[in-house]
Amino acid sequence: MSAFRVGVSAAFHRPDGRWNFPGFDLAPLVQDRSLEIVHLRNGAALAHADVAALDALILAGDALPASALPASSRLALVARFGVGYDKVDVAACTAAGVALTITPDAVRRPVAVAALTMVLALAGKLLVKDRLTREGPAGFARRTDHMGVGLEGRVLASLGLGNIAREMFRLAAPFGMRPIAHDPYADPAVAASLGVALVDLDAVFRDADFLCVHCPLTPATRHLVNAERLAAMKRGAFLVNTARGPIVDQQALEDALEEGRLAGAGLDVLDPEPPPAGARILQLPNVILAPHALSWTDQCFAAIGDGCIAPVRDVAAGRVPQHVVNREVLADAGFIAKLAARRDAAR
């Protein structure tokens, strides 16, 4: 059997060819003589020609549409660099006998820290106070006009109680906030172990002092945070989104912030990304913004990289990888045959 060919998607490279994700070391794969590494250069959305001759694909920000995944493909694995997979046609992966894996363990702590960073910065009016300080004596004289918000007893709410949200609540416990969450799929026993009260969708908006978005982007969650629900929030509440931009109706959020119905927002994700120059969200003084990168650290990227290397090695050896999104593919005859062929080749 030919070498196990591993594609590395174009988003890993800058336009000048430099590596775009410091901390992710490909050396363990490059040094494995049973593997062949292929660096893809087609940007934005992959095509069938990009993946047809691959056995595995490590995928960063590129889209993987159904047209790239005909059933005849030899591809067995798409290892997503991170946890979001809204740009991947999951059904097409399953139909083509391709397992899609993500790296939940790697992003759990970094994204939870990013969300809390936004909460703390908003509560303390960090950016406002930074600007005041830079004004010198005139700014110092206005300090009492910009009082922060204490956290003890405030309601820390989450849309979603998955991996990241649970970590956020664990980290936030010493602040003495009251934790609530809405998640129709949450295990009540897990929520109880964290001291998190599970509430309905209306209550999570109505009761939140700080509402953090921690759900995946799906057709059901697109614009889940809309004008009607923002209007139901307390005057003076804050919104934090470190998940995906389109979960929030950005125009509705801009209206609520501009009119003062919300005190502020912390956004690591936007719709679209990047925003056009002069976009209204960029002009609002009560918003803290980050370029979908607040959780990016050396440790985060190293862990995500490890979380992609492991499933590549598993599938190359004919083993079922961990953290498969489309679990139904594990019973697919095509996928089973691909693993069996790799096991036979390894003997």
Of 48, 74, 261, 292, catalytic = 292
Task: Check 166, 244, 313, 342 and give the catalytic one.
Answer: 244
Residues in the chain: 347
- Tokens found for residue 3: 């070498």
Question: Among this protein's residues, is 292 annotated catalytic?
Answer: yes
Catalytic residue among 135, 228, 273, 328: 273
| Cα–Cα dist 148/123, whole Å | 5
Cα 172-178-181 angle, rounded to 5 deg = 85
Separation in Å, CA 14 to CA 20, 22, 41, 170: 6, 12, 10, 36
Q: Would you call 244 a catalytic residue per the annotation? A: yes
35, two tokens: 């593997």
Using alpha carbons only, give the angle 286, 109, 234 rounded to the nearest 5 degrees.
Answer: 35
Structure tokens at 241: 């989104």
Radius of gyration of the chain (CA): 22
Residue 171 makes CB contacts below 8 A (sequence gap 6+) with: 112, 113, 116
Q: Where in the sequence numbering do the catalytic residues fall?
A: 244, 273, 292
